[in-house]
Chain A
Amino acid sequence: MTPVPSPLRPWADRFAPRRWLGPVALLGPGGVWLLLLLVLPTLLILEISLVPGLRLGQPSGGYGLGNYLQILQPVYLRVIGRSLAFALGSTVLCLLLGFPVAYWLALMSPQRWRNLLLVGFILPLWTSSLLRAYAWAAILRPSGVLNTILTAVGLPTQNWLNTPTAVFIGLTYSFLPYMVLILYASLEKLDTRLLEAAADLGATPSQGFWKITVPQTLPGIAAGCLLVFISTLGDFVVPTLLGGASSMNISRLIYNQFLGPTRAWGFGSALSMVLILAVSLAIALLLRYGDKRSVSET
């Protein structure tokens, strides 16, 4: 059959070759920005980390794994171990403290006020993280609020500032709202009819909780833990302001390699790559063993 001559054709022909225009206009600028200021710099860090002993303003030798081997020294391994301990400890604390709060908010709080109560709990996130850590320094310092209260009620004073205890308090405080938010989202979707069905079949409330509530919200629990873990692992402000000299963690160590006195950029870059690797590993583990849904929630 013969094609019908179309008066619209010329326009159509102009339209077709510009198909690429849309994607490029929409995705181009943001993509270029991320490429320039995120992807390239990270690749550069990877390269620098492979130049042993690179220091600012000094000529460098060839490639090698020297920077990574340096991390294996006990003093640095202790830093990495401490970072993992801070992250794991505060993740567990956030989960233990956050779950009852999220549970109450999602399933027990008065319906009318539920949204407002949730917003109220995460409101402190809107304030400067620096100032929130500073507030804890003011509370925990030897002549601070805590000891004033302890003395007033006749208890022995505590000297927690510049100890790991203060770091755990600070990290838990900082990331608890995130945990509650994610757990809330997960618990809110819980089908409470399942609990009623379980009770109907003779399950006690605690059996219902462990056999229904917890498994049903497991993706949310995993997502919340991942978020808190990777955030606390790379945190800088809390260990610096509350932990003192004894609480050197990986991000403080990296900071010192660049802005501190040592200026060992190669070593700092290697530490940075290790940190990125650790975070990627945590996410990969969740992807592998967790639910896909839980990752998209973070």
Chain B
Amino acid sequence: MSAPRSITWPSLFTALMYAFMYFPIIVLGVYSFNDSRYSASWEGFSLRWYRALFSDRRLLSALQDSLTIAIVAVAVSAVLGTLMAIGLARYRFRGKGLYRGVSYLPLIVPDIAIAVATLVFLASMAIPLSLGTIIAAHMVFCLAYIAVVVASRLQRLDPNLEEAALDLGATPTQALIKVLIPQLAPGILAGCLLAFVLSMDDLLISSFTAGGGANPLPIEIFSRVRTGVKPDINALSVVLILGSALLAGLAEYVRYRGDRQRQL
């Protein structure tokens, strides 16, 4: 290696910003092991908040609701969003610009506006709010994000790939399944992970489309933390952060594998 780099202002500043980004997360982690309920001071190591967390049936069922919503919404959106991206890349038709514009809307319009509109629409149609309505509403932004991520991958693909498959005798459907979808797989997976994280994180749209029957995790967390600091939420944070880190690691691994296959 070369001689150690001189410490420059940008590098020092960047280090400070990394600290800023991780400070709250570290605080949550440390205090999840703190025996004290109210004080910020250290009262000794304890696992009591983790015990409380794992015996909290309400929280666990909220987590289950959230996972159900995210998995179903993402799975359906993966199919619809991918098809949309392919359709937009492949066909020229009147109103295509409008279609594309509408598909970008969920990325731009604030959540609160989408949430309000969905609630009003469901109410006017007299559709009862349930887990199903949350899933339906989440699908709107999930499929938009997946379509955008898949479209950007599609743009980087060799346009001749599909033609090559057709040329070798594959029907358009076979070309889609055997060539195009496998080529798009990293993009589809990345889009799904993004949509999953957004769905798990969503508070507003869920709040407006959840009836009494469903209680996803963000709603449960929100109702608890808006009234103050709760140590068992600290413990939950640590568990969720570890889960997210696992997902992020998986995403990076998938990307790394994809790059490797291309470069080696």
**A–B in direct contact per CB < 8 Å:** yes
Q: 0/1 per residue, A117-160, Cβ < 8 Å to B? A: 00111011111111110111111010111011000000000000
Chain B contacts of A269 at CB under 8 A? 116, 120
Inter-subunit contact A29/B80 (CB<8 Å) = yes
- Prevailing SS type, chain B contact patch: helix
Inter-subunit contact B137/A30 (CB<8 Å) = no
Given A23-B91, A27-B87, A275-B110, residue A139 in contact with residue B218 (CB < 8 A):
no
Inter-subunit contact A97/B17 (CB<8 Å) = yes
Chain B contacts of A76 at CB under 8 A? none
A39–B118 CA distance with the chains assembled, in angstroms: 10
Inter-subunit contact B172/A143 (CB<8 Å) = no
**Of B106, B110, B240, B248, the contact of A233 (CB 8 Å cutoff):** B110
Inter-subunit contact B108/A236 (CB<8 Å) = no
A210–B111 CA distance with the chains assembled, in angstroms: 37
Inter-subunit contact A37/B121 (CB<8 Å) = yes
Given A23-B93, A44-B121, A130-B225, residue A37 in contact with residue B248 (CB < 8 A):
no
- Chain A nearest Cβ from B19, distance in angstroms: 11
Inter-subunit contact B112/A259 (CB<8 Å) = no
Q: Does A177 contact B (CB under 8 A)?
A: yes
Inter-subunit contact A254/B14 (CB<8 Å) = no
Given A38-B114, A119-B252, residue A138 in contact with residue B229 (CB < 8 A):
yes
Q: Does B81 contact A (CB under 8 A)?
A: yes
A297–B69 CA distance with the chains assembled, in angstroms: 29
**Of B80, B111, B172, the contact of A30 (CB 8 Å cutoff):** B80
A100–B27 CA distance with the chains assembled, in angstroms: 25
Q: Does B136 contact A (CB under 8 A)?
A: yes
Chain A contacts of B160 at CB under 8 A? none
Question: Which B positions have Cβ atoms within 8 angstroms of A?
Answer: 8-11, 13-14, 17-18, 20-25, 27-28, 31, 38-41, 79-81, 83-84, 86-88, 90-91, 93, 99, 102-103, 105-114, 116-121, 124, 136-137, 139-140, 143-144, 147, 172, 197, 200-201, 203-204, 207-208, 218, 221-222, 225-226, 228-229, 233-234, 236-237, 240-241, 244-245, 247-248, 252
Given A33-B143, A237-B203, residue A258 in contact with residue B116 (CB < 8 A):
yes
- Identify the interface centre among B108, B112, B221: most chain A CB within 10 Å of its CB: B112
**Of A26, A34, A131, A237, the contact of B102 (CB 8 Å cutoff):** A34
- Identify the interface centre among B41, B116, B201: most chain A CB within 10 Å of its CB: B116
Number of A-B contacts (CB under 8 A): 235
Inter-subunit contact B20/A130 (CB<8 Å) = no
Chain A contacts of B233 at CB under 8 A? 131, 134
Inter-subunit contact A254/B99 (CB<8 Å) = no
Q: Does A176 contact B (CB under 8 A)?
A: yes
A296–B138 CA distance with the chains assembled, in angstroms: 24
Residue of A nearest to B147 (CB): A30
Q: Does A48 contact B (CB under 8 A)?
A: yes
Given A22-B172, A31-B102, A126-B197, 20 more pairs with CB closer than 8 A: A22-B91, A23-B93, A29-B79, A30-B143, A30-B147, A37-B121, A39-B102, A104-B10, A119-B248, A119-B252, A130-B221, A131-B28, A131-B221, A131-B237, A135-B28, A147-B40, A173-B20, A230-B108, A251-B111, A254-B116
- Chain A nearest Cβ from B205, distance in angstroms: 10
- Chain B nearest Cβ from A182, distance in angstroms: 14
Q: Does A241 contact B (CB under 8 A)?
A: yes
Q: Does A92 contact B (CB under 8 A)?
A: no
